[in-house]
Structure 1
């Protein structure tokens, strides 16, 4: 069974540029946790959508974190890959076992929505569009 959807979760990781991020620092914002890999075709397809969404909402209380589960690439290689897609949001190379806190991840890409209180309120398996992301927020606004 996955984590309780009513409890704030804590997760921290170091991004590919060496900066430590803590999910608790994002309280008050909607946070999308996008789990992906460089070798995954559906992941590659959704990256331009995520990049555009992040740019369009950079001044809104909405964040995206990209968690790469690549095992063969170094953080530098993942950073170069992310740069090639013009990803302006934090990118992390993570050990897939560290993702248990998010519950069941049946495949990638998988995107979780964390509400402003720090609770997981939605999960989308498969590629997403910017419109999908906005719908996820709209469906969960009463759950803030």
Structure 2
């Protein structure tokens, strides 16, 4: 019985654990975890309202988030001094359709400090960081990267 219990615990942990994980509270007050998106590609995007390239890439990120059932964008606002009111106004103005959180110590400890904005981190469905991208990204480029990583993964099997 003890061996069965150990095997069940091992099976549960190995099938539900991600390589990396962190928690965040979105702008609606909902606590989420990266592990909530297990099985999906995740793009974590560090950005700020004052950053022109960040603002320019938002339409591509909203398209990518909306058009891909197997992918999600998590926006990490990197400006601690901005009020909720101002941030929510910005999000409504730019029609942001993906979860937004404020930067926190757990995210930085897990993914590292961005060297500039925007910075995006592409995480595979198993929770492994596949690519760090400095500068703007487009939905087309993201889809191409994911397709390339999926082709590589199939070749390795």
- Which of the five TM-score ranges fits, normalised by the shorter chain? 0.7 to 0.9
Deviation string 1:27-52 (CA, Å, 9 cap, x unpaired) is 10000001100011110111111112
| CA–CA distance in structure 2, aligned partners of residues 19 and 103 of structure 1 | 23
The question of 1:80 aligning with 2:89 is answered: yes
Q: How has the CA–CA distance of structure 1 residues 100 and 107 changed in structure 2, closer, same or farther, with 3 Å as cutoff?
A: farther
List alignment gaps of at least 5 residues for structure 1: 1-6
Q: 8 Å contact 1:69–1:95 — kept in the other structure?
A: no
| CA–CA distance in structure 1, aligned partners of residues 79 and 105 of structure 2 | 9
If asked which structure has higher relative contact order (CA below 8 Å, sep 6+), I would say 1
| CA–CA distance in structure 2, aligned partners of residues 115 and 102 of structure 1 | 14
Q: 8 Å contact 2:22–2:106 — kept in the other structure?
A: no
Misfit runs of 4+, over 6 Å? none
Structure that is richer in helix per residue:
2
**Correspondences of 1:6-85 after superposition (within 5 Å):** 8-57=19-68, 60-85=69-94
List alignment gaps of at least 5 residues for structure 2: 1-17
Instruction: Figure out how many residues of one structure are paired with residues of the other and give that number.
Output: 136
- The CA RMSD over aligned residues, in Å, is 1.9
TM-score, L = length of structure 1: 0.86
